[in-house]
Amino acid sequence: MIGMATAALAWGVAAWWTGMYPSAWTLVLWIALPAALIAASLVRAGWQRHGRERGWRWMAALALAAGVALGWDAMARHTDVILLAQHAGVQALLAWVFGRTLIGQATPLCTEFAAWVHEPMSPAVRRYTRGVTGVWALFFAAVALASLLLFWLAPLSLWTGFATLVTPVLTGALFLGEAFARRWFLPPEDRVGLADTWRSIQARAAALRRGESR
């Protein structure tokens, strides 16, 4: 977790610098690197599939690489719009991912995450995790809206700082704040600390990888 936090901080500083002083590195950090990671993930998953499923994954990876290559010059002329689309778009997508699980009979996303740790799950945990899912959905929606408003109404330097430095700090603060909030909203037997939560996430990820490998 310390390593991930350090990497996130380093990325935030680099993103702020490239946003303030656009150059080829701006597109490398914000476009080429994420696209390469996504393409590599698609290719890796393709090796573990067969037939059409392998084909579409490889085609998607090639299409992504071709899109970045063909649109490089156009993106270089409009780096500010690209950065806005990435930041606000990701936040809006996260708001939708969390919010849609609160509709109808769907399982709230945080309730699903809590099921990795709490088995069986008490009614108190179900109520709490549903509320937390709503908080995260509203948080991401608010960040997306603030990003759009700052981009159009404030100096670019202020928006760049918000997108690259303030947003990760706010996200981390909400994550830690939610961990401490459990002390007030959940009984002792239903509380799980950050360390146990992290170990559960690692165990779940390892189980998913073993399932994919088979």
Residues 164, 89: one domain?
yes
Residues 60, 166: one domain?
no
Q: Give the chain's mean pLDDT.
A: 80
Domain that holds residue 180: 78-214
Residues 99, 162: one domain?
yes
* Cα-only R_g, the chain: 20
Confidence of residue 210 (pLDDT cuts 50, 70, 90): low
Is pTM beyond 0.75? Reply is: no
Whether 123 and 145 have beta carbons less than 8 Å apart is answered as no
Residues 70, 6: one domain?
yes
Tokens encoding 16:
């702020």
Pick the last residue of a domain from 77, 99, 132.
77
The pLDDT, as a whole number, for residue 32 is 78
Residues 98, 135: one domain?
yes
159 pLDDT higher than 80 = yes
Number of domain units in the chain: 2
Pick the last residue of a domain from 77, 104, 124.
77
Residues 46, 8: one domain?
yes
214 pLDDT higher than 60 = no
DSSP-based three-state secondary structure for 156: helix
User: What confidence tens digit (pLDDT) does each residue in 148-158 have?
Assistant: 999 999 998 89
User: What confidence tens digit (pLDDT) does each residue in 74-102 have?
Assistant: 776 777 777 888 889 999 999 999 999 99
Mark residue 191 as left, alpha or beta (left: phi above 0; alpha: psi -120 to 50; beta: remaining). Answer: beta
Residues 68, 91: one domain?
no
